[in-house]
Structure 1
Amino acid sequence: MKYKPYDYQEYATQWILDKEKAGLLLDMGMGKSVITLTAIDELMFNYFEVSKVLVIAPLRVAESTWDEEAAKWDHLKHLKISKVLGTEKERINALYTKADIYIINRENVKWLVDKCGKDWPFDMLVIDELSSFKSHRAQRFKALKKVRPFMKRVVGLTGTPAPNGLIDLWSQIYLLDGGERLGKTITGYRERYFLPDKRNQHIVFTYKLKEGAEEAIYEKLSDICVSMKAEDYLKLPERINNIIPIHLPKKAKDKYDQLERDLLLPLKDSDIVANTAGVLANKLLQMSNGAVYDENGDVKEIHNAKLKALEDTIEAANGKSVLIFYSYKHDLDRIKKHLKRDDLTVLDTSEDIKNWNEGKIPIMLAHPASAGHGLNLQAGGNIIIWFGLTWSLELYSQANARLYRQGQKQNVIIHHLVAKDTMDEDVIKALEGKEVGQEALLNAVKARVRKMGGNENER
């Protein structure tokens, strides 16, 4: 296929060509892969600046997205790609295969660094989903930090660089510039731009920005990072968010209310204990979906109201392909058992992605964490059903962007199965308000405790 780039894609490719350290903060679906591959091709065969490129990506993206993207476009088909995946023997064979681009999943970054050591062979690094390196304590960050000086060019790609706030930026930008802009240490970064927020004596749990710090950080990064929003550059079909209210049976709602009230739900053979806000929220979301793990790890079924609603929603799709996001293993098992369909597929391999996009899969189940980054599924359908919800705004946004992205021809309908008067409603409210993660969870739990007349400090 002949590549006819949008103006913003040409701009972004040139950004990489012009800068040895480049951050592309592009919304999902804007073509980060083809932009970067085009720049790599130029740098390798016209500029003669790089000879061996390492791409680090989430596993499913590493398995399929980059090599498929190169094979898709006429001007990139000559690029030789080796996927450093699989068993250690397979990874070693791939590593010593002659190629232009080597792709590895982020879980094996430490292995690669340990394997190559000072004989690091790559002169250019591309980090697909840079935000997955937001923790300065993670082994993958520490390993990559060691070999960062050996690479002349680094490109970071992400649509969500700071899903939990600007505190997450330090380690990501360090991998781009070695600490030139935000400092050599996370401690220094915090001291310059943040104040302690929530703490327990000397232990600080969260930080808040100093006055003017946000603008100062953006100014520091403006020469190497470019940010683009899809709505500013792409004409996408309409996205339709639909809430499907689920009324729990009285017996199930009574059990739900009891757990919420007492943090203890006596069941026939065991007790479910929720002694922290996080555990409580998790248990309540499980119960909203219809089943819950007890303290022995066994599944206790509570109701099938969501399963019936899911079946009705699939039927209402009138034969169109449906992508279903589930939260827990027991959700997956119960959905498969309830639907009893031979044409149901659980997203697992690159072959599943191919079959979905070719219209061969009418119903596909996926966990949002396994479909969260980089997968192109827009050719296979336009209907999403959230059976179970997630507190993670990043996972939620990334999962929806598998269908709602460049190349989608139809309006995208996103159904949310929401159990009435349960934690489901708090999650939806948080997602709609773009609240994030643990903070939204804790606020929701505290609000429910207050509503019931309790004292959250005692909980």
Structure 2
Amino acid sequence: MATDFTPHAYQKRAAKFIVRRKRCMLALSPGLGKTSSTLLAEAVLRKHGHVRKTLVIAPLRPAQMVWAQEARKWKQFEHLKITLLHGPKKAERLREEADIYVVNVEGLQWLIKEAGDTCPFDMIVLDESTLLKSPSSKRAKALRPWARQVEYFVELTGTPTPHSLEDLFGQIYLLDGGESLGKYITHFRSRYFRPVSQRGHVVYKWGLLPGADELIYERISHLCLRMSAEEYLDLPDILYHDVTVRLTSKVMKQYKSLEREMFAELDEGLTGESATQLLAMSAASARQQCHQFTGGAVYHEEDKSQWHVVHDEKEKALVELLESLQGAPVLVAIQFRHELPRVKAAIKKVTGIDPPAIVGGQKLDLDQLQGDWNCGRHPALIVHPASLSHGANLQGAGIGVIWYSLSDNFEHYEQLNRRLHRQGRKEPVHIWHLIAENTVDKAIRAASAEGGEKDSQQSRLLSALLKYRDSVLSI
């Protein structure tokens, strides 16, 4: 049942920013209500006749789960007809009258081809603008003509620079056509960055020039409103718990063989001219095998759809942890396909219930599942962070997240943790990491704890791997 929407002061500020600036980015932490703030602005613009049709471009799960659900929650927005342009009837739905049309980012090129060169919308909302951060991507190029035609173009994101400040160029270009940061990314790089890793004329990595970050932020300050949840919300604390998992000596012997291969590749990368790039290229395979191994299985080299189990120590640790929680609901995050059946079995062993899973390729009624979770009907929910890092509201239930395997994508790591750590919670959020002792898990955990958006995820991880290697070899 819909209730009255009483916006917080920071939500009013965000809505006013959209109405006044017309073309802007809201860089708001998860939990600050980007969706409701945008709906509020859209309602004001609709009331005064500035907007009749709005297009929302979003990742698939937010497109399916968030926008219509958020509108139904509030009396001020429940009258809006929101149409999802996805599935076999999407062309038919496009021809129907609606207030807000929602398309997943994968369907954007289809939509533009179907609707034609003239944009039929008055307002475009790009929900999670980092998906179009690459100015050379086909989707970004396809959207540019429509972006220029509409008066209101709004970008929403929680992390506008997941890898580096380079990520801002493409997003800002869609807003102002290059007025703030230039029309060409090559000029943008030469003005604000310097090569830190290159081979010949090919630059693999750029680093900021001294003081360039302040200059960039100043150039885009009129376009961007940035707000942190810690500044505006009285959020409960996040409590982190590292659960050590000890592998047997026999298993460790197998693991160390893989780890030596990883160290050898790291050393080989360090001998070249461009250490960071070579490390990134060479360490991935061996590191991924080590990462898979700590989760309990490794894929076959000849057939990546097959795997063989090497240990069950994390499953045992998961069972013990779940038993200690005595039925308190938790999210359980996995990284690899081979973990899903074993994690399901471990959870069922404790709860007696086959847990649902939100992972790639699973067909679920996500709206219903989210509602059931927030009502406390599931003692555990298995998720892959890439499938649920953006756009789900899960703070109604669950005391925390258990990372069965650690994620080396630190944006996904933070976003998933914030699915629970957001407005509406009254209790602390617990984050458990199952860490296989004396393994690569230690390095990944160290990198995830560092924070800092200026450093790329790759650099953080490689730095942690090198520190871990040095600690092992010094013993």
Q: Indicate the TM-score class for this superposition, using the shorter chain for normalisation.
A: over 0.9
Residue 441 of structure 1 aligns with which residue?
Answer: 461
How far the C-alpha of 1:165 sits from its partner, in A, is 1.0
Aligned to 1:205: 204
CA 1:142–1:364: 2 relative to 1, 3 Å = same
Partner of 1:346: 357
- Determine the structure 1 residue equivalent to 2:86: 85
Contact 1:391 1:440 in 2 (8 A): no
**1:12 aligns to what?**
14
Partner secondary structure for residue 110 of structure 1: helix
Cα distance change, pair 124–275 in 1 and its aligned pair in 2 (3 A): closer
User: What is the rounded CA distance, in whole Å, between the counterparts of 1:232 and 1:449 in structure 2?
Assistant: 38
Q: Structure 1 stretches of 5 or more lacking a match?
A: 265-273, 455-459
Instruction: Please report how far the alpha carbon of residue 441 of structure 1 lies from its aligned counterpart in structure 2 after TM superposition.
Output: 2.9
Pairing 1:278–2:278 present = no
Among the aligned pairs, what percent are the same residue?
A: 39
Mapped to 1, the partners of 2:407 and 2:146 lie a distance apart of 35
Aligned to 1:60, the other structure's residue is in SS state: helix
Measured against aligned partners, the alpha-carbon deviations of 1:293-328 in whole angstroms (never above 9, x if no partner) come to: 120222121111100111111111111111101000
Residue 374 (structure 2) pairs with residue 357 (structure 1): yes
Of residues 132-141 and 436-445 in structure 1, the stretch that sits farther from structure 2 once superposed is 436-445
Q: Which amino acid aligns with 1:418?
A: I
Matches of residues 383-402 of structure 1 in structure 2 within 5 Å? 383-402=400-419
Deviation at 1:276, TM superposition (A): 2.5
What's the secondary structure of 1:118's corresponding residue? coil
Worse overlay, 139-148 or 389-398: 139-148
Q: TM-score, normalised by structure 2?
A: 0.90
Conserved in 1, the CA contact under 8 Å of 2:334 and 2:384? Answer: yes
Partner of 1:69: 70
Partner residue in 1 for 2:326: 318
User: Separation in 1 of the partners of 2:344 and 2:5?
Assistant: 41
The answer (yes or no) to whether the contact 1:391–1:436 under 8 Å persists in 2 is no
State the secondary structure of the residue aligned to 1:205: strand
Equivalent-residue separation in structure 2 for 1:453 and 1:422 (angstroms): 13
Deviates more, 1:174-183 or 1:369-378: 174-183
- Aligned with residue 336 of structure 2, among 328, 335, 347: 328
Tell me how far 1:61 sits from its aligned partner.
0.7
For the residues of structure 2 that align with 1:219 and 1:18, how far apart are their CA atoms?
19
CA distance in 2, matches of 1:263, 1:40: 52
Aligned counterparts of 1:373 and 1:281: Cα–Cα separation in 2: 26
Q: After superposition, what is the alpha-carbon deviation per residue over 1:416-449, rounded to whole angstroms, capped at 9, x for unaligned?
A: 1011111111111111111642223333444455
315-324 vs 440-449, which deviates more? 440-449
2:323 partner letter: E
**Aligned pair in 2 of structure 1 residues 124, 220: CA closer, same or farther (>3 Å)?**
same
1:28-427 matches, within 5 Å, as 28-45=30-47, 47-87=48-88, 90-262=89-261, 276-296=282-302, 297=304, 298-340=306-348, 341-347=352-358, 348=364, 349-427=366-444
User: Secondary structure, in 3 states, of the residue corresponding to 1:197?
Assistant: strand
Q: Deviations over 1:103-155 (max 9, x none)?
A: 01111111112222213211211111112222223222121123221211111
SS at match of 1:49: coil
TM-score when scaled to structure 1? 0.93
Question: Shift of residue 169 of structure 1?
Answer: 0.5
Partner of 1:74, secondary structure, is coil
